[in-house]
Structure 1
Amino acid sequence: MTGEEKKNKLINSLSYFIGVIASFLVAFYIRTIPKAGVFISENFVRFGGNDPWYHLRNVENILHNFPDMLWFDAYTQFPNGTEQVFAPLFDMILAFILWIIGLGDPSQSLIHTFSAYYPTILGALVVIPTYFAGKWLYDRRVGLLSAILVAIAPGQFLSRSMIGFNDHHIAETLFSTIVAALLIIAIVKARQHNISFENLKNKNFSEFKQAIPYFIFTGIALGLYTLSWKGALFFSFIIGVYITIQHIIDHLHGRSTDYLAIGGITIFFVTLIMVLITPELGGSKSLNIKGLLGGILAFPILTGISIALKNKDLKRYYYPFAVAAFFIAGIGLARLFSPSAYQLVTNVGGYFMRTGGALTIAEASPLLNMGGQFSFAPLWFNFGTLALISFLALAFLAYKSTKENTPERTFLIIWSIMVIWAMLQQNRFAYYYSVNASLLSAFIGIKILDFAGWQTLTDNFREKLHSSKEKLNFGSFLKNNLGIWHIIAFVIVILVLIVPTANETMNQTRGVGGPQGQWIEGLQWLEYNTPDPGLDYYESYEIPEDGSYDYPDEAYGVMSWWDYGHWIEVIGHRIPNANPFQQGIGGRRGSINDEAMPGASTFFTAPSEEKATEVLEEIHPDPDKAGARYVVSDAQMATGKFYAMAAWTLDTKDYYVQVQTQQGQQRVPGERYYNSMEARLHIFDGDGLEQYRMVHETRPGNSPERGYKQVYNVLHGGNLELQDTGFVKIFEYVEGAKVQGTAPEDTKVTISVPIRTSQGRTFEYSQTTTSDGTYSFTVPYSTEGPIQGETQFDTMPTEPYTISYNNVTEQVSVTERDVLDGNTVEVQ
């Protein structure tokens, strides 16, 4: 290549390089737009969602015990603790970068700030492998347009790479896209060179030098992907399906399949080594090992079958049947020798499908399901116009492949179909398909431009630019060569592919998720006003042999809905009973006839205080201890999220009923709902409960609470004040003081006391009983205030309890020690 040719090649490459860098910068900028909602104060960074908080937990723990990973966490799922649920690489990379930047001792401010930006960097980096995938599938123009489209992609891909959403999902997308891009390059290289067992046998490695490195790099990338997500067998499965189908296609076309076996073995072997040297993968290490070994064994067998049929000169169409027989035999052997592998294979069609309470997990619901109703709206939300365009492109490529097959484009088709299959089961996988949608839509976009003559126009421009000795007049060139069809095609691509997608993306950058201000305030109060649970938050815990941690006597749990478990742990530095790993939820998984397991769902849906307390006592293996000391509720748990609690028990009947109103039939809370423990706590402020007292509430927030109270007053004869109370309420489970006295037989006796909350709101707590000559109440509130070393409550009575019957009124004071120890207080 002459110096002039090198110069021209560099100039051509430079324009695409600039385009990819610009796409990266645009992607990064979009993801940082709502940063004001993340950095809400000098001392607090609000991470989005739930799992990002646990990744922060992991990173902080790694840095305190560098370089050890938090393989077991006793600070969640009380009273058991839990082994690490996440694969380690996402957090290890972040911790290592922070360790370097912080010179071995990064400050908390640096940890939180960089962690918030981490997903935006990974999200922006996706444009690079997307460009190379498009380039090697088609050409640089498709690659560049793909990079532009994925940079401005909305939906799940955007939200999971937004500033503050520090979760492993974006690492899944980045590493899987790198895997795909490298595999495409490896396939192209293998097609251009003779990668065969014959050359391997004869030690003729010259042909291997061009392709095998890319297969090795693909294996490394697949290993990085596998170490970032416990479910990473998904992409290994995609590669396995592709290699199987490509075997069939190549055999039917009379081509060698050696390169598929050699490449597949190389990829899976490299990944297997990386998996084997990793201590754990969130509980999926064994499954990944089995899957990778299965591929390493299957790929050469598929090629062996092809060679055997060719040697016997049998008809080519026998091969698919032979492959089917091989897999059927494999399934039969799995049934005999590996039930877990057999179950995995037989359930693969619905591998990601959830049922029962798991359907209430937002990211796990089917894509085309909005509030239980079929809808195409999620397609627009996630992909804009690229949804329809990419589906059309996929159908066209699938049709074209029947006549003109290229292995790398076959991979694109299979890769895309498999991701569609996954996201139809769980909408979270839409963040994968954003890459596929960009590649497929870019192919259509460039086809439109080429149809209008843009390829010829750009070729002419390059030719004149390189051949002209004088400086080329760009304006003059366009005036003489740019036609109306060029302009129309360009405008179509901009208006159809880019503008609607960009508009949808910008609409989705207006806010961030994460804990509301009330949750932040409430959990900070919990940290500083409740007893220390007796564990070092940053400890590197040993994995217990029996799977259950040996907690100190002073340890206790905090009961709340599982959504909030990581917030309680990381913000409040307290130990939740349930968490977003769906641990500690309780309820049922199989049938309504199953016995309900103790946990958050059974506690909050319990029909009485007695039943709820039984749940707390069942949670802890020690019969003398309860599973939780504090209960944290919010207005969403009492309203919109209550149905999810019931769904996890598989018993949702009669919590909500249909009633006729002036606006027609409406679904409103029923009597069963108002008898539930959650309603007793949040809607009724714990009024009348014997062992649960409110110790703190935050300011109110927007919720349907007022409407729920109105329904209770109208339909159930209530007299609740129609107001929104504290959005987050913290209750303490106590022994309760026994207040005893005498009164005439068959007399109605009431004990009551006004309670002033931390927000200055006042409500009345009361109980009523009928005397048999004596009466007894168990009451949870102290009238004397908190004591050192115990809960420093700021919600309490404003005066002594008043006991009234007939025309008699008596007052009695109850100390905090009486309440905590269950002492008896005699009314004189």
Structure 2
Amino acid sequence: MLEFMDEGKRSEPVELIAVLVFGFLLKLFAGRNSLTEHGIVFPGYDEYYHMRRILYGTSNFPDTLWFDTYLNYPHGFSITWPPLFDQISAALCIALGQHTKEGVEMTAAFVPVIIGLLAMVVVYYIMRELFDHRIALLASFMTALAPYYLLYTMVAATDHHSLEVLFQLLSLLFMVLAFSRPDKRWLYASAAGVALAALAYTWQGADVYFGAYLLFAAFGMSLELRQEKPNLNIVSTLLVAFFLALILVLPFRNTPWMSPSFLGLAAIFVALAIMLALAHIIAKRSISWKAFPLAILAIFIISLLLSKILGGFFGLEGLIRTGMGYIWGGEMIGKIGEAEPLIYDLDTLSQVVFSWLGLNILFSLAGAAAIVVYMRKEERRMQQSLLLLLIWAVFSILLTLGQGRFLYISTIFMGMLISILIFYALDRLKKFQEERGAKLHRALAAAIILLLVLPTAIDAFNFASNSPPAIAGDWQDSLFWLKENSDPTSHFADPEEIPEYSVMSWWDYGNWILYLSERPVVANNFQTGIEDAVKFYLAEDEKEATEIMDARGARYVFADFGIAYGKLPSLTEWADEDISSYMALEEYGAQLSAKPKERFFNTTLGKLYLADGTGMGRFRLIHESSTIMGNVGKSRVMIFQYVPGALLKIHTGRDGNGMALLNMTSNMDRRFVYLNQATWNGDALEVRVPYSTEREHEVHATDPYMVFSVHGDDVKAQMVEVSEEDVLQGRTIDINF
């Protein structure tokens, strides 16, 4: 392979350290917006619930928060996230003497950075074992650049996916070492088993990664039987690793968060044992190698049928269903962004093909072909390790096609494949030049490296330059306001008892509200409570909306521009409704215009966000954020309070109509008018109103209510004062015309 400099002048450790320093600085730069003068602002959504568990773990170590009454209020919710990431973070906080919220947040913010640097080291040693220092160094550099993994390993990205990827890479490293260094095969196989168990303690979906090793066993053994060189060490090595992993997870096999991984490990261990027996029989009786993959396929189909016929077949059906859910998230299209396939229609196909990612996938396929060429030249033990890398790289890309979320791991393998491709191409070019009596110019070599690295570097720079925390600004300010201006709820630090009330929001914002406002939520990012949240926001009758609020013990409601205009398609998808019945969507070139239809104005969400609660008697605006969305003239975030409301009873002629009108001003000095129509109830018109005419609140009336009685062309009006007690106690006020 190409030499760029005299080996005697090189220091591999120094070069690796230089790459790690670059990775550290890049992660700091990407997460710079999370480091503020007021403390840490976490970038996404799940980070906030991880921080809740880390805070709990710091105070109660080694206990973990497994049930939280602040979720799915008032029922509570059992947490199914495995605990290892949160426990490691909590342990580090304790070791460093950090027990305050600020200290724990600052310490935990750097845990993903450390994990990301360790992942770079692991990638280096995988590639160093299979190739050489230069490919390994470039692959480590590409891991630092991997755009989607960068988002999970930058400062403050306190999410378990960073650790999940690290343990997967560690399992791969030890498996590679087990095959390439047969004198220490069982030691490395055992280390791989520990890494697999650690992966199960980190992520509930670890089964999907375990399956890659099963594919490797199937392809590897088929290849060995085809070459008539079966020594069965592939399956035996994997059996040792999976057996040890199975033992290590055994103590928690019946817990909701571990049982899927335990069943997956057990199923793969059994499958490997069957493969070992099949391979032994085929080799001993000189049966055609083709019988091996055909027998595996037949056994898989029979197992599927048995799982249906026998009602689960020891959990196999549920395991397969769960695994397929991770591999293919098609049913989540329009509901959960990260679970959608990378490509599911012509538009997404075009977006991927004509992007830097699409170019990287193309380069990666070329790199996979280069691995195949290397495999033909290497001795048998290295062929096995190279095949394992190839299987894992292709498998990670296939995972990403099923669910875009897996870009955080596939882009690492793309970086490995591109590194292999670069030096394979340089090696071939060098030989070609030497055959012509010429030398390869360093400028040409540098140009090739730059060309193949550039798509990843551009994506990484774009991600690092445009990664402000999603909560920063209006949402963060609004949540702090709610915390300071609403009644505190009990048991936040130790959520075993049911607190006093909850907050209604769309599920995306649940973790934010819980962590920053310290208030219970109906729906959160675990998609719990989502059915009632959908029904509430899309309810076209206030009675239906209030019944949900009462059942859920909710006192406050969030409505924002994102729900109304960005997330409405998701709401309608969950409700099995047609988005076109709520919004008129029109394309203007690259722009998409959304215009509300009458049905949207009739929903709770429409009445709250677009009409400030006009037409509703029990919801009142209490705070709006500072950013005004110019296209709709509304604040980005609005908070409403759910109150009993004062009942205005209008005594007038039988053929009359009535209404109540109130001039209001918001905390942003925005003038608006509240209006509600009266309806007949017995011998009087009734209209419920949520605002008092007192002025001590940020959002307050500027005048008394104007109550109208209308009889044809005869319109009468009275000025009516309504006290805060009238509203909060639901008192009746009689008005005579």
Which of 688, 700, 704 pairs up with 1:778? 688
**In the alignment, does 2:388 pair up with 1:411?**
yes
Which of 733, 747, 755 pairs up with 2:664? 755
Which stretch has the larger CA shift, 326-335 or 607-616?
A: 326-335
- 1:415 deviates by 0.9
Aligned length: 717
- 1:729 deviates by 1.0
Task: Tell me if the contact between 1:384 and 1:500 (Cα under 8 Å) persists in the aligned partners.
Answer: no
Using the size of structure 2 for normalisation, the TM-score is 0.90
- 1:672 deviates by 1.3
* Distance across 2 between alignment mates of 1:659 and 1:246: 53
Counterpart residue identity of residue 778, structure 1: R
> After the TM superposition, which residues 163-242 of structure 1 pair with which residues of structure 2 at under 5 Å, given as runs?
163-190=155-182, 210-242=184-216
* Residue of structure 1 in register with 2:557 after alignment: 631
* Distance across 1 between alignment mates of 2:629 and 2:36: 20
* Residue of structure 2 in register with 1:592 after alignment: none
* Distance across 1 between alignment mates of 2:83 and 2:654: 67
Task: Tell me if the contact between 1:385 and 1:497 (Cα under 8 Å) persists in the aligned partners.
Answer: no
Partner-residue secondary structure (3-state), 1:508 = helix
Task: Tell me if the contact between 2:618 and 2:642 (Cα under 8 Å) persists in the aligned partners.
Answer: yes
**In the alignment, does 2:26 pair up with 1:30?**
yes
Over 3 Å counting, the alpha-carbon distance change for 1:18 and 1:456 in structure 2 is farther
* Residue of structure 1 in register with 2:105 after alignment: 112
> After the TM superposition, which residues 415-426 of structure 1 pair with which residues of structure 2 at under 5 Å, given as runs?
415-426=392-403
- Please list the CA deviations of residues 104-141 of structure 1 after superposition, one character each: whole Å capped at 9, or x if unmatched: x5332221122222222222222111111112222222
Which of 290, 298, 302 pairs up with 2:263? 290
> After the TM superposition, which residues 383-532 of structure 1 pair with which residues of structure 2 at under 5 Å, given as runs?
383=357, 385-398=359-372, 406-453=383-430, 484-510=439-465, 511-532=467-488
- 1:318 deviates by 2.8
- 1:658 deviates by 5.9
* Distance across 1 between alignment mates of 2:223 and 2:533: 52
Over 3 Å counting, the alpha-carbon distance change for 1:377 and 1:679 in structure 2 is same
Which of 274, 277, 292 pairs up with 1:301? 274
* Distance across 2 between alignment mates of 1:660 and 1:256: 60
- Please list the CA deviations of residues 22-58 of structure 1 after superposition, one character each: whole Å capped at 9, or x if unmatched: 111111111111444212333x321011001111111
* Residue of structure 2 in register with 1:649 after alignment: 575
* Residue of structure 1 in register with 2:727 after alignment: 819
Task: Tell me if the contact between 1:385 and 1:501 (Cα under 8 Å) persists in the aligned partners.
Answer: no
> After the TM superposition, which residues 128-139 of structure 1 pair with which residues of structure 2 at under 5 Å, given as runs?
128-139=121-132
- Please list the CA deviations of residues 490-516 of structure 1 after superposition, one character each: whole Å capped at 9, or x if unmatched: 223332123443233222212323203
* Residue of structure 2 in register with 1:725 after alignment: 634
Gaps of 5+ in 1: 1-10, 191-206, 458-481, 542-549, 587-598, 621-625, 707-723, 787-792
Task: Tell me if the contact between 1:357 and 1:647 (Cα under 8 Å) persists in the aligned partners.
Answer: no
> After the TM superposition, which residues 687-702 of structure 1 pair with which residues of structure 2 at under 5 Å, given as runs?
687-702=614-629
* Residue of structure 2 in register with 1:359 after alignment: 334
- 1:357 deviates by 5.6
- 1:561 deviates by 0.7
Over 3 Å counting, the alpha-carbon distance change for 1:667 and 1:784 in structure 2 is closer
**In the alignment, does 2:206 pair up with 1:261?**
no
* Distance across 1 between alignment mates of 2:327 and 2:273: 29
Counterpart residue identity of residue 460, structure 2: T
Over 3 Å counting, the alpha-carbon distance change for 1:803 and 1:300 in structure 2 is closer
* Distance across 1 between alignment mates of 2:610 and 2:471: 21
- 1:638 deviates by 1.6
**In the alignment, does 2:562 pair up with 1:615?**
no
Task: Tell me if the contact between 2:31 and 2:154 (Cα under 8 Å) persists in the aligned partners.
Answer: no
* Distance across 2 between alignment mates of 1:455 and 1:92: 55
Task: Tell me if the contact between 2:330 and 2:341 (Cα under 8 Å) persists in the aligned partners.
Answer: no
Task: Tell me if the contact between 2:612 and 2:621 (Cα under 8 Å) persists in the aligned partners.
Answer: yes
Over 3 Å counting, the alpha-carbon distance change for 1:730 and 1:540 in structure 2 is closer
Task: Tell me if the contact between 1:452 and 1:489 (Cα under 8 Å) persists in the aligned partners.
Answer: no
Partner-residue secondary structure (3-state), 2:639 = strand
Task: Tell me if the contact between 1:448 and 1:489 (Cα under 8 Å) persists in the aligned partners.
Answer: no
Which of 514, 525, 528 pairs up with 1:583? 528
Partner-residue secondary structure (3-state), 1:577 = coil
Q: CA RMSD in A?
A: 3.0
Which stretch has the larger CA shift, 165-174 or 343-352?
A: 343-352
- Please list the CA deviations of residues 714-770 of structure 1 after superposition, one character each: whole Å capped at 9, or x if unmatched: xxxxxxxxxx23221111112211111322332332211112211122211122336
* Residue of structure 1 in register with 2:144 after alignment: 151
* Distance across 2 between alignment mates of 1:378 and 1:675: 38
Partner-residue secondary structure (3-state), 1:582 = coil
Over 3 Å counting, the alpha-carbon distance change for 1:495 and 1:399 in structure 2 is closer
Over 3 Å counting, the alpha-carbon distance change for 1:213 and 1:659 in structure 2 is closer
- 1:683 deviates by 0.5
Task: Tell me if the contact between 1:357 and 1:644 (Cα under 8 Å) persists in the aligned partners.
Answer: no
- 1:689 deviates by 0.7
**In the alignment, does 2:13 pair up with 1:20?**
no
Task: Tell me if the contact between 1:160 and 1:170 (Cα under 8 Å) persists in the aligned partners.
Answer: yes
* Distance across 2 between alignment mates of 1:133 and 1:659: 51
Counterpart residue identity of residue 746, structure 1: D
Counterpart residue identity of residue 97, structure 1: L
Partner-residue secondary structure (3-state), 2:44 = coil
Task: Tell me if the contact between 1:636 and 1:703 (Cα under 8 Å) persists in the aligned partners.
Answer: no
Partner-residue secondary structure (3-state), 2:230 = coil
* Residue of structure 1 in register with 2:4 after alignment: none
Partner-residue secondary structure (3-state), 2:640 = strand
* Distance across 1 between alignment mates of 2:355 and 2:84: 30
Counterpart residue identity of residue 448, structure 2: V
- Please list the CA deviations of residues 282-314 of structure 1 after superposition, one character each: whole Å capped at 9, or x if unmatched: x34222111111222222321222222333333
> After the TM superposition, which residues 343-382 of structure 1 pair with which residues of structure 2 at under 5 Å, given as runs?
343-345=318-320, 351-355=326-330, 359-368=334-343, 373-378=347-352
Using the size of structure 1 for normalisation, the TM-score is 0.81
Over 3 Å counting, the alpha-carbon distance change for 1:631 and 1:184 in structure 2 is same
Counterpart residue identity of residue 554, structure 2: A
Which stretch has the larger CA shift, 675-684 or 634-643?
A: 634-643
Task: Tell me if the contact between 1:157 and 1:432 (Cα under 8 Å) persists in the aligned partners.
Answer: yes
Task: Tell me if the contact between 1:117 and 1:163 (Cα under 8 Å) persists in the aligned partners.
Answer: yes
**In the alignment, does 2:99 pair up with 1:88?**
no
Which stretch has the larger CA shift, 685-694 or 145-154?
A: 145-154
